[in-house]
Amino acid sequence: MARNSRFDILFEPVRIGPVTAPNRFYQTPHALGMGYTKPQAAAALRGIKAEGGWGVVCTEYCSIHPSSDDSPFGFLTLWDEDDVRALALTMDAVHAHGSLAAVELWHGGAHANNRLTREPLLAPSDQSAAYLQPGQARAMDKADISEFRGWQKAAALRARQAGADIVYVYAGHDYLPFQFLSPRTNHRVDEYGGTLENRVRLLKEMIVDTKDAVGSDCAVAVRLGVDELQGAAGITWDGEGREVVEMLAEVPDLWDVNVAGSLGNDSRSSRFSEEGFQEDYVAFVKQVTSKPVVSVGRFTSPDAMVGQITRGIQDFIGAARPSIADPFLPLKIKQGREDEIRECIGCNICRSANNEGVPLRCTQNPTMGEEWRRGWHPERIGQAKSDAHILVVGAGPAGLEASLALGQRGYHVTLAEASGVTGGRVVREASLPGLSNWIRVRDYRQQLLRTMPNVELYLESALSAENVMELGVDHVVIATGSTWRRDGIGTSVECALGKGIGECALTPDDVFAGADISGRVVIYDDEHYAMGGALCERLADQGCDVTLVTPEARISAWAVMTDEQFFIQQRLLEKGVKPVFSHRIAGVEPGTLATSCIYTGRVSEHGFDTLVLVTGRLPKRKLFDALVAEPDSLAAHGIRSVTRLGDCLVPSSIADAVHAGHRYARELDEPVSNAPVRRERPGLTH
Ligand code: ADP
Ligand code: SF4
């Protein structure tokens, strides 16, 4: 297909100092959760981004010195020659597709962990450590600053040696150079503190030093947080943020700008931000500098991208999450296949991987993080090894993805769905406040399935075991999902609390089924991710008087991993939801929930008109059990396997259901391996 000419502007080359990007698609730095221990996995992943058309591909944060380590999270290092060799794998993988490779040099200052190196933390002024509690960071003296500048230079030289085309000076996200910039953290009284000119000094020196070191071959980019969302207490886009850019306007070769503060500010989930939400903060930068500018905004719409360029907001389309959800986004636009873009849903499960110290995963893209260790490619999949006909029962995320990937392999697939729509749980969850983008999990798959002649979809088709037997298929996939529990069992309650609870309480399934709810509502959340908080919000919006009881010490506690917890609690408190923390369910009677304090055991009572239990889930396995109970009948009907997957096997995230569906499709008719994932073991050759 030919490219739509209105997108031509996205494919113009852009000069950045001494190098030229082949187009405007710029994969900004993002964590992989792989770091220096998994260089082959990282190289394969970044290489696929370049193959998919990203003209610039950046690494994750790359420490310039052992005084900045982020263990146990996955961070890169450029401390020695071994690091150079490891990083070169990524640089080479990016160059293999004609893209520019960028390295985000990093020093975390008071925001580093240093649990690995046990080096003292450094900061502009004595201050508490952000993460290494109960530790502190020590104020750098002049000798420290001079040494620090040397580390940046040495790391820049190593980055060039590894093959970098663009080298970063990273003054964002509350890391060391930003700590010098911000009046919140810089309390110095020497020439590096006080006036803005003084607080900018180190950043300016770093840019000049880096240019001196590598500037003849490499572009030097500055990543700057132009607003730290702290109001007058910090840097703001229309105050000192702008002044910093004005002071340094022509010094770097490229400006990579965003909102600073915690990482959660700039990679906000779709629940708390729209596509392009940073525009108001960063739009001024291009008016102040002639150098190219890049920013991010979860851009997945080609028209919005064109608007960014034609309206003069930025010169590139910066993207982290959209490039994770679809590494081939640029190529799809280039080939006139923009309808096939696997749009990021903004759920931030990718952020959770880094926050949990494990390799990247993505709800929309099951191949993300699996490029090297399982050999999965986002756009290529092995051809079918037989002419088997597969029945997939249930068109939730697991069933849809299994059908899509099986169909792409060339298998004959029949997908049967009990209800009148596809999507399963995402249809329900996307109806909750702020989660509408989640429906993209369904939409992306549904529209591709409709174009596949070898996949038949039957709605309103609740299948029984007899129905399945009669269909004459070779393999059966049961992806019938799960139901919310009614017995109170959740993360912190392991035993059922006796009969009767379910009769006095609703579950999220009942709420979605249209239960009549008003008055005093108690939501008991022992799941701790999105559901409890989102239901509170919906019911508060409907005018209910909502109390949220949780055994945790904060609302939606696990959402700290998706960088959403703060925003969820803030929103619910603003909407008048009353939280009760550190209490688990102890019993329910009509109209009264008894809870006990997890520390003292003291019992409290909470009156309600409606109680909603958001606890555990149970697999809907009736159909599976009925089938496997009759092996002779299965054999007589030619059914060679019955496999349950997704929530029907083990209720979990949408990301896990999609991954399970994809994995089934990849592994059908393939040899079974005892070691499904390759692991990198430093010191051993592969
Ligand atoms: P997952 O996340 O594992 O994909 P979901 O709960 O989102 O699970 O989706 C399961 C889907 O299976 C739902 O759309 C449900 O309507 C469908 N389903 C459940 N039982 C049957 C059945 N017996 N026949 C056909 N579809 C079914
Ligand atoms: Fe987007 Fe969610 Fe994938 Fe992250 S995990 S890239 S937010 S779809």
Predicted local distance difference test score (pLDDT) of residue 261: 67
User: 490: Cβ below 6 Å to ligand 1?
Assistant: no
Q: What is the pLDDT of residues 63-88, one digit of tens each?
A: 999 999 999 999 999 999 999 999 99
User: 463: Cβ below 6 Å to ligand 1?
Assistant: yes
What is the DSSP pairing of strand 19-21 with strand 25-27?
Answer: unpaired
Tokens at 268, concatenated: 């906000």
Q: Where in the chain is the domain with CATH 3.20.20.70?
A: 5-356
Determine the Cα–Cα distance for residues 60 and 86; give it in Å rounded to an integer.
14
C-alpha closest to that of 65 among 131, 148, 164, 141: 148
Beta bridge partners of 391: 414, 476
Catalytic annotation on 175? yes
Distance 445 CA to ligand 1 centre (A): 15
Classify domain 486-617 at the CATH class level: alpha beta
Beta bridge partners of 506: 612
Distance 414 CA to ligand 1 centre (A): 14
Distance 393 CA to ligand 1 centre (A): 7
Closest ligand to residue 646's CA: 1
* Number of residues assigned to the chain: 686
Atom of ligand 1 nearest to the CA of 660: 3
Question: Best substitution site from 364, 365, 441, 653 to test ligand 2's pocket, by max atoms within 8 Å of Cβ?
Answer: 364
Tokens at 478, concatenated: 């049961």
Q: What angle, rounded to 10 degrees, do the helices at 397-409 and 654-667 form?
A: 30
**Single-letter amino acid, residue 45:** L
Determine the Cα–Cα distance for residues 120 and 83; give it in Å rounded to an integer.
22
Q: Which residue has the tokens 């079974």?
A: 672
User: 425: Cβ below 6 Å to ligand 1?
Assistant: yes
pLDDT, averaged in runs of 10, over the chain (686 residues): 92 98 97 95 98 98 97 96 97 98 98 95 95 92 98 98 98 93 95 97 98 98 92 89 97 94 78 90 96 94 96 96 98 96 97 94 98 97 98 98 98 98 98 98 98 98 97 97 95 79 92 96 97 98 98 97 96 98 94 96 96 97 98 97 98 98 97 85 66
Catalytic residue among 26, 170, 175, 524: 175
Closest ligand to residue 458's CA: 1
Closest ligand to residue 319's CA: 2
Predicted local distance difference test score (pLDDT) of residue 42: 98
- Where do the H-state alpha helices sit in 31-141? 39-51, 81-95
Predicted local distance difference test score (pLDDT) of residue 501: 82
For 669, phi and psi rounded to 5 degrees? 65, 10
Closest ligand to residue 620's CA: 1
Distance 409 CA to ligand 1 centre (A): 23
- Per CATH, the architecture of 389-481+620-667 is what? 3-Layer(aba) Sandwich (3.40)
Determine the Cα–Cα distance for residues 205 and 64; give it in Å rounded to an integer.
16
The dihedral built from the CA positions of residue 481, 487, 489 and 495, taken in this order, carries a sign that is negative
Tokens at 108, concatenated: 């975390």
Q: In sequence order, which residues have a C-beta less than 8 Å from that of residue 333 and are 6 or more positions away?
A: 3, 4, 7, 10, 53, 302, 341
C-alpha closest to that of 435 among 300, 564, 563, 270: 270
Strands of 95-207, DSSP E: 100-106, 121-123, 127-128, 136-139, 166-171
C-alpha closest to that of 214 among 159, 174, 170: 159
Atom of ligand 2 nearest to the CA of 655: 5
Beta bridge partners of 455: 413
Distance 473 CA to ligand 1 centre (A): 19
Determine the Cα–Cα distance for residues 151 and 634; give it in Å rounded to an integer.
67
Question: Best substitution site from 445, 463, 480, 653 to test ligand 1's pocket, by max atoms within 8 Å of Cβ?
Answer: 480
Angle (CA) 509-513-514 rounded to 5° is: 125
Model pTM score: 0.96
Distance 352 CA to ligand 2 centre (A): 10
Tokens at 184, concatenated: 């919140």
Q: What is the DSSP string of 207-249?
A: HHHHHHHHTTTSEEEEEEEEE-S-GGGS--TTTHHHHHHHHHT
Going by CA atoms, what residue is nearest to atom 17 of ligand 1?
394
Determine the Cα–Cα distance for residues 400 and 483; give it in Å rounded to an integer.
19
Atom of ligand 1 nearest to the CA of 425: 7
Going by CA atoms, what residue is nearest to atom 6 of ligand 2?
321
Q: Where in the chain is the domain with CATH 3.50.50.60?
A: 486-617
What is the DSSP pairing of strand 583-589 with strand 592-597?
Answer: antiparallel
Atom of ligand 1 nearest to the CA of 421: 14
C-alpha closest to that of 374 among 90, 662, 39: 662
**DSSP H or E run through 354:** helix 349-355
Distance 348 CA to ligand 2 centre (A): 5
Distance 210 CA to ligand 2 centre (A): 33
Predicted local distance difference test score (pLDDT) of residue 685: 56
Atom of ligand 2 nearest to the CA of 346: 7
Q: Which residue has the tokens 């701790």?
A: 528
Determine the Cα–Cα distance for residues 343 and 341; give it in Å rounded to an integer.
6
Say whether the peptide bond before residue 682 is cis (omega within 30 degrees of 0).
Answer: no
Predicted local distance difference test score (pLDDT) of residue 127: 95
Half-sphere exposure of 331 (CA within 13 A, CB side): 15
Atom of ligand 1 nearest to the CA of 398: 4
Q: What is the pLDDT of residues 649-678, one digit of tens each?
A: 999 999 999 999 999 999 999 998 877 899
Tokens at 451, concatenated: 């174009």
Tokens at 476, concatenated: 């059966």
Beta bridge partners of 413: 390, 455
Q: What is the DSSP string of 658-670?
A: HHHHHHHHHHTTS
Query: Topology of domain 5-356, per CATH?
Result: TIM Barrel (3.20.20)
Q: What angle, rounded to 10 degrees, do the helices at 142-162 and 81-95 form?
A: 50
User: 344: Cβ below 6 Å to ligand 2?
Assistant: yes
User: 166: Cβ below 6 Å to ligand 2?
Assistant: no
Predicted local distance difference test score (pLDDT) of residue 681: 83
CB atoms within 10 A of CB 204: 17
Tokens at 198, concatenated: 């003084």
Q: In sequence order, which residues have a C-beta less than 8 Å from that of residue 591 and are 6 or more positions away?
A: 504, 607, 608, 609
